Amino acid sequence: MSKAYFFAIFLLAASFTGCIGDENLDELSEQESTTEEETTNVEDEEQITPVGTNTTANMAPYVTAGVWLNDDDYIIFDSSYDDEARMAIYVNWAAKDFDGSIANAGFDLDLDMNIDVFVEEDFGILINNTSADNETLKLENSNWNYDFVLNNDICGLIFHTTFAFIALDNEGAVGIELVQFVLRDWVDYDNMMEIKNDLPGLFGITDDMEDLFDDPNCGGGPNSDPTVTFFVSESSAGIYYVDVIKVSRQTPLEDFMFFLKDETGSTYVGGNGFGEIAMQIQGGTIQGIDTGYSGDNETLENRANEISNDDGSVYPVHFSDNDRDGFLSAGDQFMVYGTSANGPAEDDWKLDIQFELTGNIIASARLR
C-alpha cells in the first residue's frame, strides 16, 4: 500500500516537468549571444591602443635638461679679442622619440624658439661641437636677470637666467624643457665693482646697479660700516702709535670722527679730544687733525702745520694720511699723546673711530 502511493506521487511529479521545446532553445541562445557580446565589448574597452602607433597622431619627443656644476664652471674672457666676458656652464640633456627619431636638438639661449647651440647626440653631458667652449654652454649676458636682496645676512645681487632645450623629431613635432640656472654665489658691492672693472659686460651688470647698494644698512655697500684693523704700540717718549693695518674698503676721511676716551669710557673733553679727522671747515669752524693735508686751502694748511708742531698739549690726537689719498687706508697712522708726552692719555684709554653715515663705532684701539 505504501509502495503504490510513493509510485503514484513520482508519476504525478514527472507529469509537471515537461520538455524544452524549440522556442525555449532560441531564447536561451539569444541570451548567451548577448552575454558574449557584452563581454567582448568590455574587453574591447579595457584594451588601450598604444599612442603613436599605426594611424595615431605623431608623438612629440620626450626631453629633459639641466645644469651640473662643479669647480670647472668658469668665466670666458680674453681682453685681446673679447668685447665682453661670458659665463660658461656644463649642461646635461636627453631626447627620446618613441615613434620616430630626433632630427635636431640643442639649446635656445634667448627663448625665441630657435636653437642657438646644437648638440650632436640625443643624450649627453658635454657639448661636442664648434660652438662650444671647452664642451660648455656659454650664456648670453643680455639674458641674465637679477634680484636685489637686503636683509640681516645678505646685501647683494642674485643673478639667474632661463634657457630651453629643444628637440625636433623627424615628423616636425617639438619637445621643450625650460632650464633655470641660478648663480651659485650672490654678488656683493665689492664683487660687482670688481666685475665691472675686470670682466666687462658679465651678467649684464650696469652702472645703475651701484645705486642699489646706497642703503647704509647694506653690509659691504659704499655707505655701510667699513671694518678697520689697528695695531697699537707705545714709544719710550710716551706716544701711542695706532697704525691702520687693514680697511675693508677705502672710505673718504670726511666720513670719520675720532673720540679719545678714558678708562671709564668717557670722552676726554679737556681740549680736542674728539672731532673730525679730515681737514675741513664746517659752519665757519675749522676742524680736522690730519697733519698730511695737501689741499690748496691756506687756512686748513695752517691748521695742519699747527698740529704737526704741537707736542700733545693742545691736540692730544694727531692723524697722518701717509699716502695722501684722502681715504682711511692701510698705512695711515694716529698718534695719541700720553701723560709723559704732555698729553692726557694713559694705559687702558682707547681711541674710537665713528663712521658718520651710520653713527656706529667701527673701530676701537685700546692704548697699552
DSSP string, 318-349: EEE-TT-SSEE-TT-EEEEEBGGGTS-B-TT-
Residue 309 lies in a domain: yes
Q: Same domain, yes or no, for 194 and 253?
A: no
Q: Same domain, yes or no, for 105 and 204?
A: yes
pTM over 0.75: no
Residue 10 lies in a domain: no
CA-CA distance, 332 to 355, in Å (whole number)? 17
pLDDT at 30: 56
Q: Same domain, yes or no, for 205 and 239?
A: no
Residue 52 Cα distances to 44, 49, 60, 131, 266, angstroms: 19, 9, 9, 34, 86
Contact 225/360 with Cβ under 8 angstroms? yes
Reported confidence tier of residue 221, pLDDT bands at 50, 70, 90: confident
Q: How many residues does the chain have?
A: 368
Residue 170 lies in a domain: yes
Beta strands in 170-287, from DSSP E residues, in sequence order: 174-182, 228-234, 239-247, 251-252, 256-261, 274-276, 280-282, 285-287
Host domain of residue 124: 62-213
Q: Same domain, yes or no, for 204 and 283?
A: no
Q: Same domain, yes or no, for 199 and 74?
A: yes
Domain count, the chain: 2
Per-residue pLDDT averaged across 202-212, rounded? 94
Which candidate, 319, 307, 331, places its Cα nearest to that of 240? 319
Q: Same domain, yes or no, for 198 and 232?
A: no
Residue 222 lies in a domain: no
Rounding to the nearest 10 degrees, give the CA dihedral for residues 69, 72, 74, 79.
-170
For CA atoms 255, 250, 280, 334, the dihedral sign is positive
Per-residue pLDDT averaged across 281-309, rounded? 95
Per-residue cell: 355: 663712521
Between 325 and 7, name the one with better pLDDT.
325
Residue 361 lies in a domain: yes
Q: Same domain, yes or no, for 196 and 233?
A: no
Per-residue pLDDT averaged across 311-327, rounded? 96
| Range scoring the smallest mean pLDDT among 44-48, 241-245, 322-326 | 44-48
Per-residue cell: 258: 675720532
Q: What pLDDT, in 10s, does the model give residues 18-37? A: 444 555 545 545 555 555 55
Measured in whole angstroms, the distance separating CA 318 from the mean position of its chain's CA atoms is: 43
Q: Same domain, yes or no, for 186 and 282?
A: no
Residue 262 lies in a domain: yes
Residue 16 lies in a domain: no
pLDDT at 78 over 90: no
CA-CA distance, 348 to 15, in Å (whole number)? 132
What whole-number percentage of the chain has pLDDT above 70?
83
Helix (H) or strand (E) holding 10: helix 2-17
- The Cα angle at residue 218 between residues 216 and 222, in degrees rounded to 5: 65
pLDDT at 5 over 80: no
Reported confidence tier of residue 270, pLDDT bands at 50, 70, 90: confident
Q: What pLDDT, in 10s, does the model give residues 161-198? A: 999 999 999 999 999 999 999 998 899 998 999 999 99
Reported confidence tier of residue 73, pLDDT bands at 50, 70, 90: low
Q: Same domain, yes or no, for 207 and 240?
A: no
Q: Same domain, yes or no, for 182 and 236?
A: no
Burial of residue 56 (number of CB atoms within 10 Å: 0-12, 13-18, 19+): exposed
Q: Same domain, yes or no, for 197 and 238?
A: no
CA-CA distance, 231 to 355, in Å (whole number)? 19
